[in-house]
Structure 1
Amino acid sequence: KHRKHPGGRGNAGGMHHHRINFDKYHPGYFGKVGMRNFHLRRQHKFCPTINLDKLWSLVGADKLSELTKEKSNKAPVIDLVQFGYYKLLGRGHLPKQPVIVK
C-alpha cells in the first residue's frame, strides 16, 4: 500500500534517518563555504581596462597621420578617463611615436 510520506517530505531527514544517502551521494550538501560580505559595494571594483595595442585607436587616424608625417616634437596627450577607461594594460606594442597617457 502507498502510505503517504513514510520517510518525510522532500529532503527531510538528511541529517538524521537519511544521513547515509546524503553522505554517500551528496557530500558537502550541508555546511557553509567561504566568507560573507555583509555590505557588498560592486562599484568599488569597477575598473574598465584597455590594452596598449588599442591605445592609438583612441587618438584617431587623422591625428596619427598628422603626427607621423610632421616629425614634430609634439606628443599627443591621451586622457583615459575621458574615454571611459581607468587602467592601462600592457598587451601589444606601441609605435615609436612618443605619447603622454593620463
Structure 2
Amino acid sequence: MTARLKKNRGLRGHVSAGRGRIGKHRKHPGGCGNAGGQHHHRINFDKYHPGWFGKVGMRNFHLIKHGKVTPTINVERLWSLVSEQTRAYYKEKTDKAPVIDVMKAGYMKVMGKGKLPEQPVIVKARRLASRPSSSYERGHKATLPRRLRKRLRPLVASACSAHEVSRASMSRRSVVCPST
C-alpha cells in the first residue's frame, strides 16, 4: 500500500496517533497469543478454528513410536550383506551354506525382487514376503517360516549341515535353506 493512503497520514499532528499517551502502544491489550479463546476471543475461535479445544479418541499409554515400521531388503541385495571372502569361501564348500542375518544389518523383512545366484544360503529374517518363496525356489532355495521350523527340522537337516541348522533353529526368526 502506498504511504499516501495509509491511516497514519491523517493522524500527523495528533501526538500519539490514536494509541494513547499512557500505554504508548505497548503490551498486549487482548492478552498474549491465543489467550481468551474460551472467553473474550470466543467468537473468533468458534468461527475460524472449530475443534480447537477438547480431546478426541483414546490414550495409548504404551505407544511404540515406530512399531509398524518394517525395514525391508530385496533378495537381489542379500549377498551385499556378506563379504566377498565369505562368498568365495562358501562357493567351494557344498556341505555348508553361509548364514545371512538381515536383522543384524537393520532389516526385518525380505522382499522378492531380483534373483539369487545358484549358491545355497541361509537367511535369518523376522518376516518373509509372499514372493520371496517363489524367488528362492527359482534359485534352488527353500523358505522355512518360523511357525513351521519345528515340524520341518528333520527335512531341513537333510538339506543343510547340522551345525548351520542348529544355529538357525536357536533363533526365533525365519530361515531360508537350500533345498535338495
Does the pair score TM above 0.5? yes
Structure 1 CA distance for aligned equivalents of residues 29 and 94 of structure 2: 88
Of 103, 109, 116, which aligns to 1:95? 116
Indicate conservation of the 8 Å contact 1:48/1:84, yes or no.
no
Unaligned runs of 5+ in 1: none
Higher RCO, Cα 8 Å, sep 6+: 1
Structure 2 CA distance for aligned equivalents of residues 5 and 32 of structure 1: 29
Structure 2 CA distance for aligned equivalents of residues 46 and 30 of structure 1: 30
Unaligned runs of 5+ in 2: 1-19, 125-180
Q: Kindly provide the amino acid, as one letter, of the partner of residue 19 in structure 1.
A: R
For the residue of structure 2 that corresponds to 1:30, the secondary structure is coil
For the residue of structure 2 that corresponds to 1:55, the secondary structure is helix
Structure 2 CA distance for aligned equivalents of residues 48 and 5 of structure 1: 50
| RMSD of equivalent CA atoms | 3.6
Structure 2 CA distance for aligned equivalents of residues 71 and 86 of structure 1: 27
Of 15, 21, 25, which aligns to 2:48? 25
TM-score by structure 1 length? 0.59
Q: Once the 2 structures are TM-superposed, how far is the Cα of residue 60 of structure 1 from its aligned partner?
A: 1.4
2:94 is equivalent to residue 61 of structure 1: no
- In the alignment of these two chains, the number of paired residues is 98
Q: Kindly provide the amino acid, as one letter, of the partner of residue 101 in structure 1.
A: V
Q: Kindly provide the amino acid, as one letter, of the partner of residue 76 in structure 1.
A: P
